Amino acid sequence: MIFIKTDEEVELIRKSSLLVAKAHAEVAKMIEPGVTTLQLDQRAEEYILDNGGVPAFKGYNGFPNTLCMSPDSQVVHGIPNDEPLKEGSILSVDCGVLMNGFYGDSAYTYAVGNIDAETQKLLDVTKDCLYKGIEQAIVGNRVGDISYAVQQHAESHNYGVVRELVGHGVGEHLHESPEVPNYGKRGRGPKLQNGLVIAIEPMINMGVKNISQHSDGWTITTADNKPSAHFEHTIVVRQGKADILSSFEWIEKELNKK
């Protein structure tokens, strides 16, 4: 069942999504070699609770924390721990918030200190994949148009596009229909209607597309142990141009100070 949102519901999702964005900015301030993902997780949780939200991931299907923290070859769903981050690493941070009965969801992959040019390119291309997907999220297109745009851009750089994990609808539930894969054919899949809210989230690997799951039941890593990047926005489909409900603005303001 695909739920089309009213303008009022879209604004509530925007509020949740902007709280996610500001929680990300709190994390962005702190990311440096030596800090632990558990410290980052605690800061995000405090910030979300202090600002009237509830962490969406904590307790979701038993997930133990507020943020999914996935360094280097971890693709997604990494569990925060007290291991210090290392110079030259990357860290995918996925955050969700429930507020006023509606969810917001957004992910960003951060550099820890200085990273090499090859890894920086992976981050840049993955973020570009996200925006190329968003460009296709307009009335009259289909989900496959988003999927195709993401896949084409990633594969043009010889990167692997994860198949098993997908974007999704967002609303009164964290994960709603339709699924939004990062690979596919143009003109296929559900039609995009005005007021459809979806999370588009490319997960792109430097090497092969294959992944494996750890014994913790959550952490997903690349099969070849090469780095993976992940960027995600919650957006609403509109005529001519999608409206991005989450934001990277505060994150990038903090990163530019460093």
Can you tell me the mean pLDDT for 5-32?
98
Average pLDDT over residues 76-85: 97
What value does the mean pLDDT take over residues 146-155? 98
Non-local (6+) Cβ contacts of 199 within 8 A are 105, 106, 167, 168, 169, 170, 180, 232, 233, 234, 235
Residue 60 predicted with pLDDT over 90: yes
Q: Is the pLDDT of residue 96 over 90?
A: yes
Do you know the residue count of the chain? Answer: 258
Mean pLDDT of 64-87: 97
Mean pLDDT for the stretch of residues 218-226? 97
Taking alpha carbons only, the member of 128, 129, 109 closest to residue 119 is: 109
pLDDT beyond 90 at 258:
no
- The residue type of 199 is A
The pLDDT, as a whole number, for residue 25 is 98
User: Given a cut of 90, is residue 172 above it in pLDDT?
Assistant: yes
Average pLDDT over residues 100-126: 98
Residue ranges per domain, the chain?
7-257
Over residues 144-159, mean pLDDT: 98
Architecture of domain 7-257: Alpha-Beta Complex (3.90)
Across 224-251, average pLDDT: 98
- Return the C-alpha torsion angle 96, 97, 102, 107, nearest 10: -30
Laid out side by side, the sheet with 233-236 consists of: 176-180, 167-169, 197-200, 233-236, 243-244
pLDDT cut 70: percent of the chain above it: 100
pLDDT at residue 99 is higher than 90: yes
